[in-house]
């Protein structure tokens, strides 16, 4: 799978900077199974209905984040995840 590429990083939570930024889209099951197979367990998981502009969404909110107004609060666009090694 090839990575998507952008020439800047930051912008909604910090000042945007010129930098090479690579990102990949993965199925949630691939991520969770990869963690489990690697001996990790999830310690935190949170979904968000907004993302950086250009990733998804049909509207931009006051903070510059993209979202779908008709699906607000119903469709997660991105998530945060933390995992730890099993002891």
Domain extent listing, the chain: 4-85
Cβ partners under 8 Å of residue 18, min gap 6: 7, 8
- pLDDT tens, per residue, the chain with 87 residues: 676 777 776 665 667 778 776 677 788 898 899 999 999 999 999 999 998 887 788 899 998 899 999 998 898 988 889 999 988
* Length, in residues, of the chain: 87
Q: Is the pTM for the entire model greater than 0.75?
A: no
Residue written as token pair 């969770």: 32
Residue written as token pair 């000042």: 15
């Amino acid at each position: 799978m090839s990575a998507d590429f952008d020439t800047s990083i930051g912008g909604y939570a910090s000042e945007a900077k010129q930098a090479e930024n690579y990102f990949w889209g993965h199925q949630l099951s691939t991520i969770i199974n990869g963690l489990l197979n690697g001996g990790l367990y999830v310690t935190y998981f949170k979904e968000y209905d907004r993302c950086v502009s250009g990733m998804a969404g049909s509207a931009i909110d006051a903070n510059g984040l993209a979202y779908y107004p008709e699906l607000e609060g119903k469709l997660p666009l991105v998530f945060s995840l933390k995992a730890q090694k099993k002891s």
